[in-house]
Structure 1
């Protein structure tokens, strides 16, 4: 039931955006009664947050190749693949179009990014432990530096985004970390 509801939520977001999403529509698409959804999620925002968090956890898995460069490359390439898919483009469009007007969606977007950074920080932590990155490298700041060129192209310039974009982003993030140019993390 849970998987069906989350998949239905993503489909509804992809087709109608956040503004068009209803618990009734999700329930119908998932083949469950809406009370089933309300028993498991307090509201549509928590349902959307859970669906997006699960989507990105599945679509952009956390690699463990034994080397920071290949871990970051896999992470960045998976992000590119996910965000250039039909669902990824629709979810990005929904987040951008609605987050500024809908404070609840802005909170959902923040929760999804926080979850992604929390899950992926192990990549940086392992690299620091192995001596591949300077001690004190802030995982979240390195990850933000990694994804920034990708999202910049997706959101602002419309330039092509592919595996070479991901590889360049890895180079930039690693160079910044080795140059100790990343800002310190929040306490």
Structure 2
């Protein structure tokens, strides 16, 4: 495994427990203090792990954040299968809303997104995270095409992006409430646009 980047190893046993403890500590610190104040020594102290272990395995704050995002993508709930496109898109929107309004996850995402604007490695990790989540949910659009709910050639990934974009806008830009009605409305708008052929390639 010598060729692996720091933070990309996913072993079992004690090493897995160390990774879990360090990533939880990193998430807590990030949510509380933001990216600028994230410190590997502080994370090691919070996780009750030796500093040398953290420095050797993750190498840098950005390496740690990249692994945290990988872990978050791996731990995300699987997509819903409701049998209708609107039902699936509403489930997606509600999951995004739940994550963004969570007392821990919301500030954590805000901190990571802010860091990604000025740190290339964090931006790359964030892009991988969203790519993973979009690919997880895109099949619900393909299934809707197969059922005849949407026109052939609809770009499934663009439909999923259209669901979450208004929710992230409220979190990061407008500060407007992120309630259940907002989540449902985002899903309804994306579904209506998809039915109208807006996302046909």
- Shorter-chain TM range is 0.7 to 0.9
Q: How far 1:90 sits from its partner (Å)? A: 1.2
Q: How far 1:74 sits from its partner (Å)? A: 1.2
- The answer to whether the aligner puts 1:93 opposite 2:105 as a matched pair is no
Alignment of 1:12-161 (within 5 A): 12-38=29-55, 40-41=57-58, 43-55=60-72, 58=75, 61-161=78-178
Return closer, same or farther for 1:173/1:26 CA change in 2, 3 Å cut-off.
same
Return closer, same or farther for 1:34/1:120 CA change in 2, 3 Å cut-off.
farther
Question: Structure 1, unaligned stretches of length 5 or more?
Answer: none
Residues 78 and 136 in structure 2, CA contact (< 8 A), matched pair in contact too: no
Distance 2:74 2:147 in 1: 25
Distance 2:96 2:171 in 1: 11
**Is the partner of 1:143 in helix, strand or coil?**
helix
Distance 2:20 2:140 in 1: 27
Residues 151 and 200 in structure 2, CA contact (< 8 A), matched pair in contact too: no
Return closer, same or farther for 1:75/1:53 CA change in 2, 3 Å cut-off.
farther
Distance 2:109 2:199 in 1: 26
Provide the aligned C-alpha RMSD in A: 2.3
Aligned length: 184
Q: How far 1:35 sits from its partner (Å)? A: 4.0
Return closer, same or farther for 1:29/1:183 CA change in 2, 3 Å cut-off.
farther
Q: TM-score, normalised by structure 1?
A: 0.84
Residues 62 and 121 in structure 2, CA contact (< 8 A), matched pair in contact too: yes
Return closer, same or farther for 1:42/1:72 CA change in 2, 3 Å cut-off.
farther
- The answer to whether the aligner puts 1:178 opposite 2:195 as a matched pair is yes
Q: How far 1:42 sits from its partner (Å)? A: 5.4
